[in-house]
Chains A and B, each alone.
Chain A
């Protein structure tokens, strides 16, 4: 009897192989086909691959899905410093935007930066607390379970590092733009918690502090806290990843990334800018420079084709990209495929959300000659993404001041190779 019992896994393999074979047989007769360019091509054999099976007896297969072994898009350390450095620390890890489809960055590929290196605390959420104190009527301390009982919001927001600057040295988009990512964040509005505590007159600033080794802390205006800061415990449908602040962080929509404090343990309402170590690290001398560094400008980038990629030949391509603004929603994106001589509206995917990446696309037929692709965003308050030359002209000096939201040129050579077009 036992020997008669068919092995369930082997049975599944055979059955699936048969089903695959039938499907293949019906749809694709096994004859040599001819491609558009007239060359004979081998019919794709899907049959062989359909017999490769995952091990269903592995509990991990059932418990938490993994991507295909053929999908190998990965993050990489960016921003020009040795990584890991002399102390074994990694500072900025960029998102592979060239592979991203749509507006949401997968949690595992979200860019990652910290105050001073890749020390990610191990936090038991059952032990974690958030304290709200300082200039409030009622000091409060919450468990994670209590925080999750508050009315919540779920919102799409990008987070971008103020150091996300493109330069002529960068070859690929992960180097030039990888320190921006977008996720769907769920949590309680900080305004809800501050109203619960009762902010006192004169409490115009808050400081937000993490519990990691350096207890990274930033000063923020209470007005922003009352507008839209989220005390987030989830991203993209599941609890925060440890690198993104598990179990609790703030998301400060549209402001430079370091202000979105991770591993959040404390909010103190205070009467002044505190000049924390993180604040000090981002100081500017010129008020205009400071204003432009504080918030992310209207920005976009073509993710495909982008630097380091190779077009197989002339013909049709869907130009794809991402657009965003720290001041609201994207209202329009324009694309140029001739180095800026002519501009056309790109198609926006879905309804643009405020302070969130918006995916765009533009249908393009490449004639095979050298050209430059560009994109620019216009946001809901009318700010326009500038060229690097326009920024330099405005300030009367070379370079991009403040946070870099300049237009990224990608140069396509006649052999189909794609290069950073910054001179």
Chain B
């Protein structure tokens, strides 16, 4: 009797796990490996999507003059586009006060590479080669005293650059349906 009662429940479990394993609607196709590779440009903090290539701040100075200086200024501090060098107000004890400057505020150097690669230069996005992106990234990290001028940035070294804000940012809350925004907060 007990086993008979269990039977429908077991059937349900079987049905739902089956549904989770096989497609229901059969729409769409499997992308080719090259298609995935071409679009897979988001770089994780651990850097697994980073491509081959490399560059140093010395290489970056040349690329920067040609592709970046017109908007960001010769030293990364005096253009119409956002500042690229940390503010004097910050310190090792209070790195947040270096300001909202991507190559110092970002908790991971991979974000700097990712943004230059996907979004720069304005109106010529996607025109930089991986070597050029590594080189500009190296230059910006050098200007912010995070790497040496001749330090090679590549897919191995870039994710290891110690960024000062790696532990200062607040992780996002664990989201649950119908939960308050902040437990204990009445508003």
Contact = CB atoms under 8 A, between A and B. Distances in A.
Nearest to B38: A131
A276 to B, nearest CB: 6
8 contacts: A133-B36, A149-B27, A150-B27, A217-B42, A221-B175, A284-B169, A295-B175, A383-B180
Contacts of A298: 187
B182 A196 contact: no
B187 A207 contact: no
A158 B96 CA distance: 32
A214 B174 CA distance: 28
The 9 A-B pairs of least Cβ separation, nearest first, read A290-B170, A214-B119, A86-B80, A386-B187, A291-B173, A140-B28, A287-B170, A141-B31, A142-B28
Interface in A283-303: 283-292, 294-295, 297-298
Contacts of B129: none
Contact of A195 (B20, B176, B179, B187): B20
Given A280-B102, A294-B173, A390 B187 contact: yes
A99 interface: no
B171 interface: yes
Interface stretch (B6-14, B60-68, B108-116, B139-147): B108-116
A217 B114 CA distance: 11
A402 B41 CA distance: 31
Interface stretch (A10-18, A19-27, A263-271, A367-375): A263-271
A287 B31 contact: no
Contacts of B169: 283-285
B187 A394 contact: yes
Given A140-B28, A280-B102, A291-B181, A286 B39 contact: no
B178 interface: yes
B27 A196 contact: yes
B30 interface: yes
Contact of A383 (B36, B96, B186): B186
Contacts of A197: 23
Contacts of A140: 28-31
Nearest to A197: B23
Given A224-B175, A291-B181, 11 more contacts: A142-B27, A196-B25, A272-B45, A274-B43, A280-B106, A286-B170, A290-B173, A291-B182, A381-B178, A385-B187, A386-B187
Contacts of B182: 288, 291-292, 402
Interface string A379-412: 0110111100011001000000010010000000
Contacts of B28: 140-143, 146, 196
A386 B186 contact: yes
Interface in B158-187: 168-182, 185-187
B110 A275 contact: yes
Contact of B36 (A139, A143, A327, A384): A139
B19 to A, nearest CB: 7
Interface in A225-274: 227-228, 265-266, 268, 270, 272-274
Interface residues of A, number: 73
Contacts of A141: 28-31, 35
Interface of B: 19-21, 23-25, 27-31, 35-36, 39-46, 71, 80-81, 96, 102, 105-108, 110-111, 114-115, 118-119, 122-123, 125, 168-182, 185-187
A163 interface: no
B167 to A, nearest CB: 11
A102 interface: no
Nearest to B181: A295
Contacts of A143: 28
A285 to B, nearest CB: 6
A294 B108 contact: no
A321 interface: no
Contact of B42 (A214, A276, A291, A292): A276
A215 interface: yes
B161 to A, nearest CB: 14
Given A140-B29, A140-B31, A142-B28, A273 B186 contact: no
Contact of B21 (A198, A283, A384): A198
A87 interface: yes
Contacts of A138: 23, 30
Interface in A120-170: 131, 133, 137-143, 146-147, 149-150
A217 B122 CA distance: 17
Contacts of B40: 133, 268
A333 B134 CA distance: 54
A28 interface: no
